[in-house]
Structure 1
Amino acid sequence: MSRSRITLAAVAAVAAMVVAPAAASAKPIITLSGSTSVAPLTSKLFPAFLASSLGKGKVSFKQYQGGSDVGISDVSAGRVTIGNSSRDLKSSDSGGLTWNKIARDALCVAVNKSNGASNLTTAQVQAIFSGSTRSWSDIPGSGKTGSINLYVRTAASGTQDAFLKLFMGSSTVSNSAAQKASNGLIQSSVKSDPNGIGYVSFDFVGGIKPLQYQGVACTLTNAKSGAYSAVRNFWMVTRGAPTGITSTFIRWVQTSTAAKKIVAAGWVPLV
C-alpha cells in the first residue's frame, strides 16, 4: 500500500473514533403531537423537567398539536414519541398503546362577556347545541334576542369527544355549528361574537365568560373539589410502555412535587 493510502486510512480511522462518541452523546428528542388542551400544560412542564437533575442536558422536546386523534394516530404510527390526548381510550383506537394519565381538566361552556346569562342546565346545554333552541330570547337572563351562534370543535378533537360525553348525553351537535380546530379558535370566536357560545378547556376562558353548569361555577377550585362535574382526563399516550428518558419524563410528570405544582396552578392534579 502506498504511503498516501496509508495516511488516508489512518485519517479515516481517527475520524471514525472522533465521530462515534459525538453521535453517541447526542441528546434524544422527545416529540409530541395532539391535543390543543394538553399543549399549554406540557409547554410549562418541559422547562421544569429540563431544569431538574433528571432532565438537565439529557433530552430536548419538540411539540406539535392538531387534536387528540392526530396525536393518537401519530404515536401509533411511530411518528412521535408521545401522543397528547384530552379524551379517553376508544374501542376504535389502535392496540399496543399505553395511556399514561397526567392530570384532569375542567371543560367550560362559555359565552361572550356581553351575555347576561349566568347558568345553564343540562337540558338547556343540550337544547342549545343540538339546535332545538336557536334564540337567546329563550335563555333566561341572557338579555339578548338574536340567534345563538354555535362554535364547536372538529371531530379529531378530544375536547369535542369530552363535551359529547359530559354534556350532551344522547343528543347530537347541530350541523349548523361552526367547527374550529383548537381551543384558541373557539375562544377568539366567542370573544368577538356577542351572540356566540362554545366550550373550552379551563385554561382558555380568558376574555370570555364561563357559565355555571347545573348551578356550579366552572372554576379550578370547584373542579378540584369535585363540585363541578364536567372534568375530563389528560393523557400522554405511548407506543407500548414508555422506556428510557421518555419513561423518566412521564414518571416525573406524574409524581414529582415540581410537576404537581405546575398542574395545580391551572388544572386538576392526580390524587
Structure 2
Amino acid sequence: MLASNFINFLYKCLLATVRSKKWIALATASSGIAASILPGGRTAHSTFKIPIDGDNKYVCNIGKRTAEATLLKKCRLILWDEASMANHWAIESVDTTLRDIMDTDQIFGGKVVVFGGDFRQTLPVIRYGKKEDFIEASLVKSPSIWPNIQRLKLVQNVRANEDPAFCEYLMKIGNGTEQFIGRDKIKIPSSFIIPCPDEDISLDALFQSVYPDLTCFGNDPYSLMSRAILTTKNEIADEINSILIDRFPGESKCYVSFDEPLNSN
C-alpha cells in the first residue's frame, strides 16, 4: 500500500511509463474526486461495473464477451487509488471477475494491480455501522487479497517538512500512540487552538491566522492554493466563503457561464 502527499506524482509517472510502451493502463479510484486527478481516471465502480449498494453481495456486471472484458484482457496495469476506502467485498468481486475473464486461478487474473491508500484516513463507510464494522469491511480484513499484497510504505510527509511538530502530532494520532483522554479522546495542543470567546471574534481570529493580508493575493493569487479552511459541513463552508469574498479588496464581478452539449442525444 502506498500513501503520501506526493503519491499522485508517482501514479502519473507509472501510468505514463506503461502507456508510453503502447500498453493499456487503467487508472481507477474509490472516489470521484481522486479519480478526477488521475490521467484518464474513472471510479472503480464505473470501471468494473460494481453496484453502488452492494451490501456484501458485490458482483461485477461484466460479461466475458463484452467490450469491458476485452479491455480488461488487454490491460497491463490496473491502478486503484484510495483502496483503503473500498469495501473488501468489492475488491474481491473484481478479483473474481478478472480470474473468470482471464480463465486463470491467479489473483486478479495475473494482472499487475497497484493499490494506493492510507488506513489512517477514511475507511469504508458502513451505513449505521460502528468502528469495528468499518475495520471489518476494510481491505486488511480480506483473507484472499491482503496476504497476497506486497506492501510498500512511504513514511516521509514532504508537505509537512516545514512544520515537523504538527507532522509528528498527526503521525502519533494515526499510529495510535498519542495519549488518550478517557477511552477515545485526545488533547489538541494549545498552539493549534484559536481562542473562542464568541463566534464572531473566533472567526475573525481564524481568518487573520490563515489569510493575514488579503490584498497581497491580488499580485500573487497562487499563494492562496497553499491555504485552506476545512469545515465539517457544506453550509459552514458556504458561510465562510461568503464572508471572505466580501472582505477581498476591489469590486466584485459576476461572470455567467452557459454550456451546451455537442450532441443532445
Note whether the superposition's TM-score is higher than 0.5.
Answer: no
Higher strand share: 1
**TM-score, normalised with respect to structure 2:** 0.24
Structure number with larger C-alpha Rg? 1
Tell me which of the two structures has the higher relative contact order, counting C-alpha pairs closer than 8 angstroms and 6 or more residues apart. 1
